[in-house]
Amino acid sequence: MLSFLRRLAVSAAACCVARAGQTTMTAPLNAPVAAMAVDAAGYLYVAGAAGPATQLTPGAFQRSVAKDKSYCYPVPPGGGYTPCNTGYVAKIDPSGRAIVYLTYLGGSRNDVITALAVDAAGEVYVAGATTSSDFPATAGAVHAAVPGGPFVVKLNTAGSALVYGASIGGTGGATGIAVDAAGEAFVTGNSASAGFPVTAGAFQAQPVTAAAGDSGFLLKLSADGTALEYAWYVSASPRAVAVDGQGAAYVTGESYGWLSATAGAPQTSYGGGGDAFAMKVSADGSAIVYATYLGGVEEDVGESIAVDAAGSAYITGVARQFGTSVPRYPVTAGAYQTAFAGDFRPGNMADAFVTKLNAAGTALVYSTYLGGSSYDEGQAIAVNASGEATVVGATSSVNFPATPDAYRAASRYTVSSYQAPSGAFLSRLDAEGRRLEYSTFLTGMGTPALAEGADGTAYTWAQLDEGYALARVDFAAEPPPLTLSGIANAAGFQGGVASPGELMTVYGEGVGPAAAGVSVFFDELPAPVLAAGPGWVTIGAPFAIAGRDTVGVRLIQDGALSTALIVPVAASVAGVYTVNGRGWGPAAVLNQDGNANSAANPAARGTVVSIFLTGAGVTNPPASAGHITGDSDLPRVAAPLAAYLGTSDGAEILYAGAAPGLVAGVTQVNARIPMEAQTGAQVPFTVVVGEGGTAPLGLTMSIR
């Protein structure tokens, strides 16, 4: 798998977001997408709630819907109304330029499609919930005595007829569907109704009526839709299902403590607040192979599940903070993000998570948070043959982690306050769950869906400002040419301006992943290369750029010369190093005793703390970029420097200069905490160097 990814482009109401030079268009799809899948030939299948301008195709199975206005639209005393949705299903050709078919699917009341799958023949399976007594059903298919509740529909390859339409019965609805090689549908959802058709010998024959939200179901439907192979209740609220090559079903969702975990599971007890869970069911539906909780003291929800060829399950969802405790979703050492990044406060903040279980369900292969400072939620996941997991979800974090080659990068240095999710993201993790191979931010609202083809192409959906858009990302594209796309302070991530001696990260397409063979120049001046990775190199800006208005930054890698970035030069661009390495939150501060400052180890008023930053500009005597600072004759910052802690006046600066033992360009500031400084675990502070070299907002330290 090539680790280089090209920049994306996007068009409203279009399929697709692709890499540069590979954008293709489709006929308008004027409706949101709730679920999607892609077949082996590259045809894309989508389903959701039909909009008023949805364009049907000739020969579609259902070309009109007559809603019962006495049910759907009355205005009761006090206002309000009962909404009535109509589902649609569409097939889009591999070029993204034409809709092969689009059909309505629904009855006279409320019909909601929540899940979709496609088999090897191109027949589409959709599931959801209905209140329509005339919802389309077929003779001989499973049919409830009292219509309504969960449904499963199978469409033929032309979208012109139903292979079957099954009404499962009971209340509630389906939330997930998967199909095996034989065309048998596995469906999960929620129902506490006695009308749900439990099969003889079912693993669990009764709902957990005492538990609000913990009454789900799992069923397997025959290929012709005429019989339930098995159907039983689940002591949880399932959200999604996957199936492996042996016919075993994998389920995730949320449980409030009524699920019975199996011996040897990674988490056998309920954490509280609502926990995510993962469960594997035997091929004949007679036994739970494993079941485990995944959660901490706050609310954790599994939203989607996928399974690889080896039988390892991958789960994504949300770790949500509603109460007064920081979420403690289980994470593993060395995972991409091991700490909750939400800007914690009593309220509603959340991070997405991605977890991989081993095939036996006895251990976490990896488990990581994925998010920024506000609200982030993983909503769909897919895994490829190499074990790389692709995740889409909703976000309101302007600093959601994005890779340098993102179609639209979230801000790396502005911390947002909580707001409802207003955007979407697509991210891919490497097979070890240790790094992001690609991550991009998509603006607009909506519940993202996800499909991934065998050719390395991933599809998602987002509602952009201009309208609805289907997005395509080609992960198997050839490596792009050596192109620089941006430069930023290596500590605070302020972008687009360079200062003398500043440690900076240069981003680009085709850059890295190792420092060997890489050279960087600011005009004619060499800049020492300090570190490198896929798409980036960290360098030390030459001190000799002082006094220049701009510099041209170029990179040479293995003999290839990059495009140039023309970068303005400033006297200082102060960026403070932080614990999370993202330029905001708790700073990497040492207390007077030499130990790290933290909420558990706050600094006392009147003591001296050491703050570390880069971008302070020229020094006296002059320093040399790339050299390690010794213990004597330390270069001092030439410009005036001030530190402001909380609401106090400026702190007393005892020293501001090169940091002994660290590379030139890193500045150590020893500041005495004012006696009147505010106290707490997250006292805001900033550092100002010269005229305009102000560290970004969002920095904190702990003071007592």
For the stretch 464-479, pLDDT in tens is 544 566 777 877 665 5
- What is the three-class DSSP state of 72? helix
> Which residue is associated with the tokens 């049907």?
56
Pick from 437, 444, 443, 479: nearest CA to 458: 437
Predicted local confidence at residue 78, as pLDDT: 54
How many CB atoms are located within 10 Å of the residue 81 CB? 10
Considering only residues 317 and 584, tell me which one the structure prediction assigns the higher pLDDT.
317
Bridge partners (DSSP) listed for residue 569: 498
Considering only residues 166 and 206, tell me which one the structure prediction assigns the higher pLDDT.
166
How far, rounded to the nearest angstrom, does the alpha carbon of residue 636 sit from its chain's CA centroid? 43
Mean pLDDT of 243-264: 96
pLDDT for 402-430, tens place per residue? 776 666 655 433 334 444 556 788 899 99
Spatial contact of 302 and 291, defined as CB atoms under 8 Å apart = no
Least confident of 189-198, 239-248, 515-524: 189-198
d(CA 500, CA 198): 72
d(CA 191, CA 206): 11
Residue 27 has pLDDT above 50, yes or no: no
Strand order in the sheet with 467-474: 450-452, 457-464, 467-474
d(CA 401, CA 418): 17
Pairing of strands 162-167, 149-155: antiparallel
483-568 to CATH, choices 3.40.190.10, 3.40.50.300, 3.40.50.720, 2.60.40.10: 2.60.40.10
Pick from 491, 492, 527, 529: nearest CA to 513: 529
d(CA 579, CA 698): 12
Burial of 58 (0-12, 13-18, 19+ CB in 10 A): exposed
Phi then psi dihedrals of residue 71, to 5 deg: -100, -40
- What is the three-class DSSP state of 379? strand
Confidence of residue 24 (pLDDT cuts 50, 70, 90): very low
Amino acid at the residue 99: I
Q: What size, in residues, is the chain?
A: 704
d(CA 156, CA 557): 53
Spatial contact of 9 and 20, defined as CB atoms under 8 Å apart = yes
How far, rounded to the nearest angstrom, does the alpha carbon of residue 545 sit from its chain's CA centroid? 39
Confidence of residue 601 (pLDDT cuts 50, 70, 90): very high
Strand order in the sheet with 275-281: 237-243, 249-255, 275-281, 288-294
Predicted local confidence at residue 162, as pLDDT: 97
> Which residue is associated with the tokens 């490829």?
384
Confidence of residue 79 (pLDDT cuts 50, 70, 90): low
d(CA 266, CA 380): 23
Phi then psi dihedrals of residue 520, to 5 deg: -130, 140
Considering only residues 12 and 300, tell me which one the structure prediction assigns the higher pLDDT.
300
d(CA 372, CA 352): 9
Predicted local confidence at residue 140, as pLDDT: 94
Average pLDDT along the chain: 85
Q: Give the list of residues 6+ apart from residue 558 with CB closer than 8 angstroms, or none.
A: 517
Element spanning 569, H or E: none
Residue 578 has pLDDT above 80, yes or no: yes
Predicted local confidence at residue 71, as pLDDT: 81
How many CB atoms are located within 10 Å of the residue 627 CB? 13
d(CA 88, CA 50): 5
Predicted local confidence at residue 214, as pLDDT: 77
Per the rule left: phi > 0, alpha: psi between -120 and 50, beta: everything else, 347 is left
- What is the three-class DSSP state of 537? strand
Mean pLDDT of 393-409: 76
Amino acid at the residue 137: A
Sequence spans of domains, the chain: 35-207+215-235, 251-451, 483-568, 575-703
**Percent of the residues in the chain that have a pLDDT greater than 90, as a whole number:** 57
